[in-house]
Structure 1
């Protein structure tokens, strides 16, 4: 990757959403009693400073690891993906994953100091890729921005918006008070929300309006997935990004927010264009594989910041694949 660059933050361009669109993505709020109790429980955490949240995240993450909640899943994933690491190293990575997830939850609840200290002067790793993204956006078309459940992907979206990149986040319907808070944070930050049903058309429309689409590409999907290499093993992956790239003609960028203590560095790679048709190869699969490889490169550098608790290789590829 290119050397780091400090990039000034441009003006924010907020995105307008209809109330009907918000309702179908955010869902119905919890009942009065449930909502009251949830807010009562979350209020003390929401008022913590950045440093206090970090201390609490380390305590809660360490506790969850010690209690063994999905620890076996994380260690099995790590043993398969990183057999070259020692058992002690894999345990340390797994513990780091719990701390990362605790940070995500606590930062979702925050009423203040949600963004990393000094975010407006944060380094961008991948100078040429960032400049290429800015040049592409200047043409009036949006871009496809791909990330993973890594670091704090929610805050990364906010940082991109604050840097002047209008975003529409591809999301799933959410339930529960915590997930409601996450959805509300997205809207408050200025993100548009795209529901999975009819997503490709909505992505296409957003791109032509000059708005970029922000999507996670690291979860196993049970149906309609394409199988691409991820840490040396085929993993079921949504083809939505690659299909949208073909429909719109725009490339993808891999964008990851790497935690460095209390700060965040934005790692960006691209543009990653849809490959030309080639006999015996599916451009959708090939494009998905190229972008997934970009995600893997960053995760390999900072494995404790990825969600090893998820069964990424849950679904087996069809026989003969």
Structure 2
């Protein structure tokens, strides 16, 4: 009986979400993004979960006063709402079709093609994190990205449909196997690595210990690959800048770095991006033991 009720709830949720996405799809991209951003900026800060974001900001950026902290939270919710409003329009967030999206660091994409060495692209939940794989693919660099499947199977089907042009692997053991196979075949992969991983390792993040997945480090040490940071910035509304930074060096004095050294550098890069645009990062994760 419980399972039947659960399926009914899942089905109703998916219907409501589908209707909302259809409505947003009818709207122009800019309007869809604006409306959802405005709605989220009004409702989001009033939700209990915003307390987690507030605590995180105070924990790692104590220099921010009360007003600044609340502004960051409001901006975070607005950005999150915009991402939701942009989801039905992912096909329009293509740098080849949209002149509001600037792609920098194309030389590093050329390096991948010329060297025939696959890349491990990494980024965080900053700005609209869904669009960086599109930029790589449009520059003839195939990317397999990993994602967490929603618990609701109907919603999962909907999300997969919207991402149908983007190769995806589910988070978990099967997804990890797909990532390894892809790298070995010469296909690049994309990782969003700013979430807490309980079975990971303690790595400094904003000078605080944070449980961090070392999958990126293990992969690049095991399989010859280029580790490329991908920074996404929301410049204004639906205008973005995507930067493919220079590959990280995974050797030092002729020896391979340790996973801790690699992930410390990765976290430091993420921190720099977040400090630059703190209102564009998803502060809702339980990232630290604070």
TM-score (norm 1): 0.77
Indicate whether 1:258 and 2:233 are aligned: yes
User: Within 2, Cα distance between the matches of 1:44 and 1:96?
Assistant: 24
- SS of 1:266's partner is strand
Against the structure 1 CA distance between its residues 194 and 272, is the aligned structure 2 distance closer, same or farther, given a 3 Å change threshold?
farther
Picking from 128, 137, 150, the partner of 1:161 is 137
Output one character per residue of 1:121-169: Cα deviation in whole Å (capped at 9) or x when no partner. Answer: 74334x4xx4134213322221000011111111222232223220101
More helix by share: 2
User: Within 2, Cα distance between the matches of 1:69 and 1:49?
Assistant: 32
RMSD (CA atoms) = 3.0
Against the structure 1 CA distance between its residues 50 and 173, is the aligned structure 2 distance closer, same or farther, given a 3 Å change threshold?
closer
User: Within 1, Cα distance between the matches of 2:202 and 2:227?
Assistant: 19
Indicate whether 1:48 and 2:33 are aligned: no
Matched residue count: 282
User: Within 1, Cα distance between the matches of 2:156 and 2:76?
Assistant: 20
User: Within 2, Cα distance between the matches of 1:33 and 1:73?
Assistant: 29
User: Within 1, Cα distance between the matches of 2:69 and 2:174?
Assistant: 40
1:12 corresponds in structure 2 to none
Q: CA deviation at 1:258?
A: 0.5
Indicate whether 1:83 and 2:23 are aligned: no
Cα contact 2:87–2:162 (8 A) shared by 1: yes
1:235 corresponds in structure 2 to 210
2:161 corresponds in structure 1 to 184
Against the structure 1 CA distance between its residues 133 and 38, is the aligned structure 2 distance closer, same or farther, given a 3 Å change threshold?
closer
Q: CA deviation at 1:112?
A: 6.0
User: Within 2, Cα distance between the matches of 1:285 and 1:264?
Assistant: 32
Q: CA deviation at 1:198?
A: 4.6
User: Within 1, Cα distance between the matches of 2:39 and 2:99?
Assistant: 29
Q: CA deviation at 1:311?
A: 1.2
User: Within 2, Cα distance between the matches of 1:111 and 1:234?
Assistant: 35
Indicate whether 1:58 and 2:33 are aligned: no
Q: CA deviation at 1:286?
A: 1.0
TM-score (norm 2): 0.85
User: Within 2, Cα distance between the matches of 1:308 and 1:288?
Assistant: 20
Q: CA deviation at 1:116?
A: 7.1
Task: For structure 2, list consecutive stretches of 5 or more residues without a partner in the other structure.
Answer: 1-6
Against the structure 1 CA distance between its residues 199 and 39, is the aligned structure 2 distance closer, same or farther, given a 3 Å change threshold?
closer
1:298 corresponds in structure 2 to 273
Q: CA deviation at 1:249?
A: 2.2
User: Within 2, Cα distance between the matches of 1:74 and 1:190?
Assistant: 30
Against the structure 1 CA distance between its residues 111 and 272, is the aligned structure 2 distance closer, same or farther, given a 3 Å change threshold?
closer
- SS of 1:164's partner is coil
Against the structure 1 CA distance between its residues 304 and 204, is the aligned structure 2 distance closer, same or farther, given a 3 Å change threshold?
same
For residues 11-30 of structure 1, the aligned pairs below 5 Å read none
Cα contact 1:169–1:214 (8 A) shared by 2: yes
Picking from 155, 171, 181, the partner of 1:205 is 181
Output one character per residue of 1:11-33: Cα deviation in whole Å (capped at 9) or x when no partner. Answer: xxxxxxxxxxxxxxxxx9x9766
